[in-house]
Amino acid sequence: MPKKNWVCLLLLLGMALMVFSLAGCGGKDTTAPAAKDKEEIKIGFSISLTGIYAPAAESQMRAYDLWLEQVNKRGGIHLKEYGKSLPVKFVYYDDQSSTDMATRIYEKLVTEDKVDMLLPPWGTTLHFAIAPLAEKFQMPVVGNTACSVKIRELDAKNFWFITSCIPDRQTEALVDLMKAHRNQLKTVAITYVQDLFPRENLQFLEPLLKAAGFEVVLVKDYPIGVSDLSSLMAEIKRLNPDAYLALSYPEDSFLITNQAMEAGLNPKFFLLLVGPSIAAYDAVYGPATEGILTQGHWSPKGGWPGAQDFYNGFVEKYGERPDYLDSALAYVSCEILEQALTKAGSLDREAVRNVIATSEFETINGPIGFTGVENLRMPAMWLQWQQGELEIVWPAETATAKLLIPKPKW
Amino acid sequence: MHMQAYVKPVAIALIMLSLLLVPQFATTYTTSVILNILMWIGLVTSWLILAGFTGYISLGHGAFLGIGAYFVASYWQILPFPILILLSGLICVFVAAVVGYPVLRVKGPYFVILTLGLSEFVKYSLVYYEVNIRGTVGRILLRTPSLENLYYWVLVICLLSIATAYLIKRSRFGLALMSIKDDEDAAEALGVNAALAKWKAFAISAFFPGMIGAVMAMRWTYIDPYTVFNPMMSFQVTITAFLGGIAYVHGPIIGATMLTLLSQSLWARYPNFYMIALGVILIFIVMFLPQGLAGLLSKINVPGFIKDVFKNVSSPERRKEL
């Protein structure tokens, strides 16, 4: 009996400890002390270390870490309010790829950890989940890895999106690119994975293609996590379209590449929406990537100040190249936050918010400024693999190479 | 009357009072953690109405959460919130009644797999509907109620589910359900309509996750089929139930509180390896406490008030008394 009492006592103790670990249980939310003796700038975010987004979120986390290292090497961010430069410290937690966890984490970051600023989590879903919290706490957040036409539905004054990969804008650019090569492209096959972003792309793409006089010979969907698309590849091969537009995610981009190779599917114009910009893609396929198109609006050769340095710094730190989409976007949102803090000279949320909403920022992806929640300064672009490098092939004013057409056979 | 007689009601009254006051005095984050605990208590307790009493382990409980969330998202700002919550629950009762009729004829591991398959079926049917008929996936919910408002809704639903489980356990209906767990054929031979009893229990247990889903959608503010029909929700319901002890009505209260606080104190400190720590702790608990934490509490000689609070609430010994 006494032995069992001990077990019980231990359990109770453990429980009490955990309750106490919910730090700051007393008192309603208080604002961070605006002390003049501030020693560091705390920036908080949640990251998907586990769960379905974990493989994708690594590109983002690496860019955050690279920026953190660089900014602290520079001595931190100079804030006029304190008359000195303050080093940056990250506070982050694993959101397990769950909206429930992400919302709780951002509440903790703001009300318990009292971070000074926030960075976003990975992906459209989690951006949408935390946008209302940014409003509630009046805390500015520069989003990065999220794209959907739904961003304009958000009633947001403290949330912005950098990317130009918004489905209506980028499909327009794609159809313009295809129109420029109309003599070689008449028929089009489209497949898409059943999720928000690919579906939105289809919604705008199909009418635009038809209006431009292209013949859409196939539109097929398949679920997330599909493990075999060989019959679909065989069907597309039979239809023999000039262009095959796969509105895919990274997982199925690999699957389609494999099975298109096996089927000997060789369209003149071959596009995989998300996937070919990540480092693993060319690591797996090497020279077979030649001619494959994908979405993206950054390249180290884009001519923007700092672009090549970011590329080199990333390769030096991690031993592989950055994801041209997510890593670049994540780094850009850090750059914008840094410049906004410097310009505001303060950690005051309202002051920083106003700077972000009204200023123009110099980034590794060119000049960026916001109209509402959107960055309209950057045109929608398309990338293509050429000679082992991702080149911007559209539009002409930002292009680093001409479109390679027809795509060489596998 | 003996002093001890007052301990239980006083303790319960104190707990209730502090739960009511949480949103007034605690920080946003503490409120959200307690809301989360209440959500899990509600989910697990309602799950026990079928699984705990009859032994039919369902891995489809999370699907009702998803149905509730999607229903409320579809009619948000069209119908008033309290009516939406109630309708979400009723729709889940209806779905459970329709689905349960054939499904509950299947027994043992086949039933477990079938429920998992059914919830995946609901998810992909919804994806098909969204993609091919509505032309988009996911919904943004604007102008949602405050955290404090949602907290009280979840508290009410959670208490309702506990009261329901407690009343069923004490009723003839509960006795019928428990006899199914012991030996379904023998129960039928003694005149228990096992099919009807299981069917009713399944429908009742679906009412609460539907309502909880409706409230939680307002908290998540963006929902899509993949997040609200995440099978991990169903798995965690089952894990929490076993951790707390599935033979006890207060099992879910202990299980959900412990698991939420444990995982929260771990991820907040060790974001990079809390999953491993959590896994190890869970393995230990399952190995050394097969009856769950509630089972441990009922066995040991607890000094003072704790035992009084839980004594006779719902222990298996109670069954012999009935």
Probe site for chain A from B65, B288, B300 (most A CB atoms < 10 A): B300
Same domain, A250 and A103: no
**Is residue A103 one of the residues assigned to a domain?**
yes
**Is residue A223 one of the residues assigned to a domain?**
yes
Stretch among A160-174, B56-70, B128-142 having the lowest mean pLDDT:
B128-142
In this structure, what CATH number is given to the domain that contains residue A102?
3.40.50.2300
Would you place residue B138 in the very low, low, confident or very high pLDDT band (cuts 50, 70, 90)?
A: confident
Cα separation of A41 and A360, whole Å? 23
Within 8 A of A155 by CB-CB distance, chain B residues are 142-143
The total number of structural domains that make up chain B: 1
pLDDT attached to residue A215? 97
Cβ contacts of residue A211 below 8 Å, gap of 6+? none
Pairing label, strands A292-295, A269-272 = parallel
pLDDT attached to residue B312? 46
Within 8 A of A132 by CB-CB distance, chain B residues are 144, 221
Same domain, A87 and A230: no
pLDDT attached to residue A94? 92
Better pLDDT: B107 or A354: A354
Better pLDDT: A110 or B7: A110
Pairing label, strands A187-193, A360-363 = unpaired
pTM of the model: 0.87
Cα separation of B93 and A295, whole Å? 45
Same domain, A51 and A178: no
**Is residue A22 one of the residues assigned to a domain?**
no
pLDDT, tens digit (0-9, with 9 covering 90-100), for A236-280: 999 999 999 999 999 999 999 999 999 999 999 999 999 999 999
Q: How far is B176 from chain A (nearest CA, A)?
A: 34
Same domain, A196 and A279: yes
**Is residue B49 one of the residues assigned to a domain?**
yes
Nearest CA in chain A to B146: A136
Q: Which of B131, B222, B297 sits opposite A199 (nearest CB)?
A: B131
Give yes or no for residue B140 having a pLDDT over 60: yes
Q: How far is A153 from chain B (nearest CA, A)?
A: 8
The ipTM of this complex is 0.84
pLDDT attached to residue B199? 93
What are residue A360's phi and psi, to 5 degrees? -110, 140
Same domain, A152 and A176: no
**Is residue A362 one of the residues assigned to a domain?**
yes
**Is residue A21 one of the residues assigned to a domain?**
no
Same domain, A194 and A239: yes
Cα separation of B202 and B99, whole Å? 10
Say yes or no for a CB contact (<8 Å) between B220 and A221: no
Contact in structure between A111 and B26 (CB atoms under 8 Å): no
Q: What is the mean pLDDT of chain B?
A: 87
Better pLDDT: B11 or A46: A46
Same domain, A49 and A156: yes
The total number of structural domains that make up chain A: 2
Cα separation of B239 and B4, whole Å? 34
Nearest to A250 by CA among A381, A65, A54, A97: A54
Same domain, A262 and A387: yes
**Is residue B61 one of the residues assigned to a domain?**
yes
What are residue A325's phi and psi, to 5 degrees? -95, -75
- Residue spans of chain A under pLDDT 50: 1-3, 9, 20-21, 23-26
State the helix-helix crossing angle for A54-73 and A326-344, rounded to 10 degrees: 40
Same domain, A205 and A351: no
Within 8 A of B124 by CB-CB distance, chain A residues are 223
pLDDT, tens digit (0-9, with 9 covering 90-100), for B198-256: 999 999 999 999 999 999 999 999 998 988 998 888 988 998 998 888 888 889 999 99
Say yes or no for a CB contact (<8 Å) between B221 and A128: yes
Give yes or no for residue B286 having a pLDDT over 80: no
List the domain range (segments joined by +) for residue A195. 167-295+381-394
Task: Report DSSP letters for B4-64, one per residue.
Answer: HHHHHHHHHHHHHHHHHHHHHHS-HHHHHHHHHHHHHHHHHHHHHHHHHHH----S-HHHH
Pairing label, strands B222-223, B139-140 = antiparallel
Say yes or no for a CB contact (<8 Å) between B261 and A107: no
Same domain, A288 and A343: no
Q: How far is A88 from chain B (nearest CA, A)?
A: 19
User: Once rounded to an integer, what is the mean pLDDT over residues B105-132?
Assistant: 90
Say yes or no for a CB contact (<8 Å) between B222 and A199: no
Nearest to B178 by CA among B205, B202, B200, B197: B197
Q: How many CB pairs under 8 A join A and B?
A: 142
Cα separation of A150 and A131, whole Å? 12
List the domain range (segments joined by +) for residue B187. 4-228
Cα A345–A350–A353 angle (5° rounding)?
80
User: Once rounded to an integer, what is the mean pLDDT over residues B293-298?
Assistant: 81
